[in-house]
Amino acid sequence: MSATEQATQRETADRSPVSADLLGQLIAFDTTSRNSNLDMLDFLTALFREAGIEPWLTFDAERRKANLFATLPAADGTETGGIVLSGHTDVVPVDGQAWDSDPFVMTQRDGRLYGRGTADMKGFIAACMSRLPRMKQGTLLKPFHFAFSFDEEIGCLGAPLMIDEMVRRGLRPDGCLVGEPTSMNVVVAHKGINLYRCRLHGRAAHSSMPHLGVNTIEYAARIICFIRDMADSMKADGPFDSCFDTPYSTAQTGTIAGGVATNVVPDACEFQFEIRNIPQVEVGAVYRRISDYVERAIKPAMKGEWEGADVALEQISNAPGLNADEAAMMTRLARALTRDTDIRKVAYGTEGGQFQNAGVPAIICGPGSISQAHRANEYVEIDQILRCEDFLNRLIGSVEA
């Protein structure tokens, strides 16, 4: 532990986070991605209204989930510009995990707050909400925006709806702070995460006469091996970015389903694969190598056995990579407030790249460690929440008269 970290721990040893009770209330909402998040948004909306702020929502197609966006204007009433505080409301499942306590009841022990979402990332949301009184008491020269999205954990599906509406309303923030867990260090880049589905349609037959059928599992295996060979090539030949723990783009197949019995030629198979590209790599070019292979080699071979055979590729989700500009206001401000000048890049994705693509420079900095996310007994250290609250106070002070 560095001398600075030791000093910070001494300073915060006798303090309790203002946002701890609020975090406990947020943890109690089971916002696992398969569930609705509307009850949690109702709770947050009530807090905003108490502060005189009226949020707006953008819904999914079934209106079971929503994003929440709220703006605290500058002292002169200006709503455009300013800083976005961005986080996601959904959490990953606890199914099959061995927890020592109820994951949806926040538990404090040994200087830590345990519960699903404490680190990823309701701790940041609670810290932001707890700063509302601090924001209201000052004289803001620029507005603050709160952007809380749904379905980040399954591909950042909700944030684009919210960002599109933000742009439509002409808000045009100057920068975005994404509060994913970084141990309150500044992260300036992350990989793009792109998820795809491949469906193969063949013809069933008795396995004693395979020439009468089209075996979709075997053809799926050829595509999967091609994806693996391509991944091996990227690992060996790059391009590389040494700032990432895995310094090259990756691709892998994650799920596969097909077939009904060992003595039946399978007429259907489906698998999903992902590409995680470093910012320097255009993911479309990587995907085209796969789709070209399917069109050139796989489809003709399948149709040669039976004209009705087919292969369909589709993109399920796209969370573009983030590559922050060191000269951008948001990057310079975050570095000044944290005194952190190190270059950090991560393999996980966030909505930061989506804000960046909409013209809003973004960085990542939030409480807790990503190593605790998605695990049983997920926790955030109390010191991390205190550091986040202090950072947000300095951030507010940076735009006060």
Three-state DSSP class for 219? helix
Amino acid at 285: A
Residues 208-259 have pLDDT tens digits of 999 999 999 999 999 999 999 999 999 999 999 999 999 999 999 999 999 9
Higher confidence at residue 391 or residue 347? 391
Residue 401 CA neighbour count, 13 Å, CB half: 9
Does 3-189+321-397 match 192-316 in CATH topology? Answer: no
Per-residue pLDDT band at 333 (split at 50, 70, 90): very high
| Contact (CB, 8 A) for 302 and 310 | yes
DSSP string across 259-281: -S-TTEE-SEEEEEEEEEE-TTS
Residues 3-40 have pLDDT tens digits of 444 444 444 455 789 999 999 999 999 999 999 999 99
Sort strands 205-206 and 175-178 into parallel, antiparallel or unpaired: unpaired
Strand order in the sheet with 379-381: 107-109, 112-114, 379-381
- Would you say the C-alpha torsion 384, 387, 389, 395 has a positive or negative sign? negative
Interval 367-371 mean pLDDT: 96
Find tokens 């009226």 and name the residue: 54
pTM: 0.90
Residues 57-93 have pLDDT tens digits of 999 999 999 999 999 999 999 999 999 999 999 999 9
Find tokens 């197609």 and name the residue: 61
The backbone torsions φ and ψ at residue 179, rounded to the nearest 5 degrees and listed phi first, read -90, 35
**% residues pLDDT > 90 (the chain):** 94
* pLDDT in the model for residue 14: 58
Angstrom distances, CA of residue 26 to CA of 309, 331, 358 = 50, 29, 29
Domain positions in the chain are: 3-189+321-397, 192-316
- Which has the closest alpha carbon to 350: 372, 330, 329, 365? 365
192-316 belongs to CATH 3.30.70.360 = yes
Domain spanning 3-189+321-397: which superfamily?
A: Zn peptidases (3.40.630.10)
CA distance 372 to 105: 17
Residues 155-204 have pLDDT tens digits of 999 999 999 999 999 999 999 999 999 999 999 999 999 999 999 999 99
